[in-house]
Copies of this chain bind each other. A is one copy, B any other.
Amino acid sequence: MLYQTIDILGTVAFAISGVLVAMEKRLDLFGVLIIAFVTAIGGGTLRDLLIGNTPVVWMRDLTYVVTIFIAVVFAIIFVKQLKYLRKSLFLFDTIGIGLYTMIGVEKGLEAELLPIMCIFLGTMTACFGGVIRDMLCNEIPIIFRRKEIYATTCIVGGASYFLFVQLPIKEGYAYIAAIVVVITLRLLAVKFDIRLPSVYEKKTG
């Protein structure tokens, strides 16, 4: 129940972020819908394709399509008010990437992949909906550019799960602990403006 609620909140946050990007690009109604869908389910779809888990998950479960559709209608109507929800949306998004990361890790374990591949799949589930969104909107994906700790929190969180399961605790707790790691790291990174190290030399003057 809690799990499902989080999943829906995450989907809503991703869909709304899609609507906002699409409307900034002045796309039409169909474009806004598709971008919202892709943002919310693109990462999981890519994951399912890579491991051969087809038909992909949202095709077998109406929840996602209905949730996204309602989120899009809501976002289009209340687009002006959304700025007052900025903090809530950030929180949903952060909880969402935590959960999505672990859903991806779990799918990798089910497919009997190595831990590092599971972490890949988790990060992909959480982050690549946004990557496809940006490709469709003709932008270089934002998570490749900003030096923000975003994907990195998913990687660290996914890796932490494989540490936690070594401990003498129930697997369910390890799962939840890893989600908490992602969320905490992201909140700390934003609060203290922690960034990726630059791969470029500084220009000296």
Contacts and interface: CB of A to CB of B under 8 A. Distances in A.
Interface string A54-65: 111001101001
A174 interface: no
Given A30-B196, A140-B27, A59 B55 contact: no
A32 interface: yes
A32 B143 CA distance: 11
- The complex is assembled from copies of this chain, and their number is 3
Nearest to A75: B199
A28 B65 contact: no
B136 A62 contact: no
Interface string A138-157: 11110111110001100000
A29 interface: yes
Contacts of A117: 55, 59, 65
B139 A28 contact: no
A137 interface: yes
A12 to B, nearest CB: 18
Contacts of A197: 29
Interface in A143-176: 143-147, 151-152
Given A29-B147, A31-B140, A49-B50, 17 more contacts: A25-B140, A27-B144, A28-B144, A29-B196, A31-B141, A35-B144, A50-B54, A50-B56, A51-B59, A55-B117, A59-B120, A60-B113, A131-B136, A135-B135, A135-B136, A136-B144, A138-B139
Interface of A: 22-23, 25-32, 34-35, 45, 49-52, 54-56, 59-60, 62, 65, 76, 111, 113-114, 116-117, 120, 131, 135-141, 143-147, 151-152, 196-200
